Structure 1
Amino acid sequence: SQSLRPYLQCVRSSLTAALSLSNFASQTSERHNVPEIEAKSSPELLLNPLTVSRNENERVLVEPSINSVRISIKIKQADEIENILVHKFTRFLTQRAEPFFILRRKPVKGYDISFLITNFHTEEMLKHKLVDFIIQFMEEVDKEISEMKLFLNARARFVAESFLTPVGETPPLVAIVAYVALVRLSGDASAPNRSTTEDSRAPACLLASGAQESLVILACSSLQQASPRK
């Protein structure tokens, strides 16, 4: 989008400048060549990190060194549902990091996904293509999360309607069952936090907060539509 273009252009310029890497052997271990940004054994080989931020929830951290660059991305997350989707999506990718070559298995703390580019990558691949890959990932990940969220909402509505449409009278138990089904669809991580007190034994629908409120409203509206009119 047009609003995203200046942000991506700034990231592109920063990555292009940071990817000026050279082959540099370790100064502490003989016959070893490790990414200095990960080892951090020689502070003089590390350059100043750079953060490109669009807002509080969207930013990129570029950490350059003499022979490697670490790029960490914070993906936009507007609500709890998007938090869950981003976590599941990035976890799916990091578990398959080998085919991506530059993908880091564990992101830097405070970010959702990280990439590690070494001098060997820039020697074997085209530098501008590596930058294009990072930029394209940033462009597509927001679209993927939005599509997944729309699909999840549609599936939750379908489940609520299938539970409640054939019901003539709608006792509270049906509402609880429908809500539990919706929570399971949105993932185990979306279940409300339970305290260790006696309140944790209350029904799940009474402990809903944040993103779960929309699911409760959806279930209640379906309940009202399914209830027989007097």
Structure 2
Amino acid sequence: MTVSDLSTSFQNYLKAIWALSEWNPDPITTSRLADYIGVRSATVTEAMKKMVLAELVDKLPYGSIKLTSKGRLAALEMIRRHRLIETYLVKSLGYSWDEVHDEAENLEHACSDLMIDRIAAQLGNPERDPHGDPIPSKDGKINIPNAVPLTLQDCGRRVTVERISDADPQVLQYLARLNVSIGDIFQIIKADPLTQTLTARGVHGEITLSTQIIEYIWISGKK
């Protein structure tokens, strides 16, 4: 069985479970999953019962949810589809990075395995998507960057932008106007706890970001 044999609902749940756990160690609960997908908790509960029977997830103590090995491989295949499509839309079709998520949400269910393989080959089998998220390989391997969220406590550090969450398209648009991109290197020169802002110097000059913005940015770099 491949991920194409699963229902669209199962595909979406698998991808959501992976996305919730990829950068956040908190347990995945029914309510957390429901909030992320935008459905009632009762709907998620019923879906998880079916996915347990399909051996895609395990229900752990205190109601937390965990992918089985079978579910993990299927989830990574869906993540691969989504992120390859996003990358293709940006690199080959001229989309901006804030426009691709919803398009990929629709296309990932319609593309055949052959088309996904052709997209990967056309792009040179990229390892990261436009937002810096890792793209799993066809055999289910994934290299998650050693990155942490940017905070006010990073003042004085020289950091590299590794990932920018795509949860809010307006944040992506704002950062694009500031010429912030994946791979950019910044020197964090000032943190102001009173105004809750961080000032950084990069190749395009100085920028000042609020905590509402920096929480979307993940960085690497020595302290």
TM-score range, shorter chain: under 0.3
TM (norm. structure 2) is 0.25
Which protein has the larger Cα radius of gyration, Structure 1 or Structure 2?
A: 1
TM (norm. structure 1) is 0.24
